[in-house]
Amino acid sequence: ADTFPDAALLSLSIALHQPAESIALLVAFIKSGLSESDIIKFLSIFSSMGPIGVVLGMAVNEFAAPIVDSVMLAVVAGTFVYVGATEVIPEEFEDGEHKWKKCLALILGIVSIFGITQYSMTLAE
C-alpha cells in the first residue's frame, strides 16, 4: 500500500479475514480427525504466514521494480478468487441445506467488497 488509507484498508481486511479463516480451518482439521498436536502445528504455520507475507511484501515494494509488486498482487488476488470459486463456494452449496441463506450471504459479501472498494477509491482521490 502506498498511502495510509490503502495500508489501513489492507490491514483491516487481513484483520477481519484471519480469525474467520482460522476458525474454518480449525473446524476442517477437527472433522478430519487430526490430533491436537498436529492441529496446533498446522494452525501455527498458517498463522505465521500473514506476518511473513507482510514482511516479504514490504521488501518487494521497497526494493523490487513496481511491476514485480503488481504481478505478485495479481497472482495473490487470482489465487484467492480461484480457491473461492472452485473450493469454498461449491462446498458450501453441496448439501442444499439453507441454500437461499447461503446465496444471500454470498451476494451480500460480493456487494460489501464492491462497496469497500468504491469507498477506498474515494479516499484515494
Grid coordinates representing 18 are: 484471519
The residue extents of the domains of the chain are: 4-92
pLDDT of residue 1: 63
Give the Cα separation of 84 and 24 in Å (integer).
13
**pLDDT tens per residue, the chain (125 residues)?**
677 887 788 778 878 888 888 998 999 999 999 999 999 999 999 989 888 988 888 888 788 888 887 888 899 889 988 988 898 888 888 887 888 998 999 999 999 989 988 888 887 77
C-alpha cell at 42: 498446522
User: How many other CB atoms are found less than 10 A from the CB of residue 78?
Assistant: 10
Dist CA 103 CA 116 (whole Å): 20
Longest dimension (CA), the chain: 51
